[in-house]
Amino acid sequence: MNPIIVSGIERDRIDVAALVDKIRRDDCGGLVVFEGTTRTPDEGRVVLHLDYEAYEERAAAQLEQIAKEVAERFGLGGVVAVHRVGRVMPSEPSVLVAAVAPHRAEAFEAARALIDRIKSEAYVWKKESTAAGDSWV
C-alpha cells in the first residue's frame, strides 16, 4: 500500500476536516483522528493561551519522517501529522494526528504511536500563559 502523507507545521488554525479528508481511502475501513487541544484549567491554573515555537524546518522534516515510519510499521493507507505554531487559545487544536488503515486496530495503534513520537521527538516547544504569568512547559 502506498500511503498518503500529510505533515507539517501550521501557522493558522488547524482545519481538521480538510486535512483528514486528504487521507480518506476506499480501501481503508479504519480512520482514527486525535486532536491535542489547549485545555484550561491545567493543574489548577486557568490557562489564557499557549504559544508554540518550533525549529520549523527541522520540525517539519521530523513530522514527515515520523509519519512515514509509522505508516510503514502499521501498514497504513494514510497519515496526518501536523503541529501548530503561534498562539493557540483554549479548546483550539495544537496538534493533529490521523491514521487510516484497512482495519481499525492498526489505525488506533498507529494514531497512538504518532502522537507519542511527536510529543517526544519533534522540535516544538510551548509556553503556557496564565494569570500568574508565563512558563515554558
For residue 128, the domain's CATH number is 3.90.1170.40
First to last CA, the chain: 38
Let me know the angle formed at the C-alpha of 81 by 77 and 85, rounded to the nearest 5 degrees.
165
Number of structural domains found in the chain: 1
pLDDT of residue 19: 98
pLDDT of residue 115: 98
Considering the entire predicted model, what is its pTM?
Answer: 0.95
pLDDT of residue 1: 87
Per-residue tens of pLDDT for the chain, all 137 residues: 899 999 999 999 999 999 999 999 999 999 999 999 999 999 899 999 999 999 999 999 999 999 999 999 999 999 999 999 999 999 999 999 999 999 999 999 999 999 999 999 999 999 999 989 999 98
Q: How far is the C-alpha of 42 from the C-alpha of 89, rounded, in Å? A: 13
Name the grid cell of 92.
483550539
Backbone angles phi, psi at 29, to 5 degrees: -100, -5
69 in Cβ contact with 121 (< 8 Å): no
Domain that holds residue 23: 4-136
How far out from the chain centre does Cα 79 lie? 10
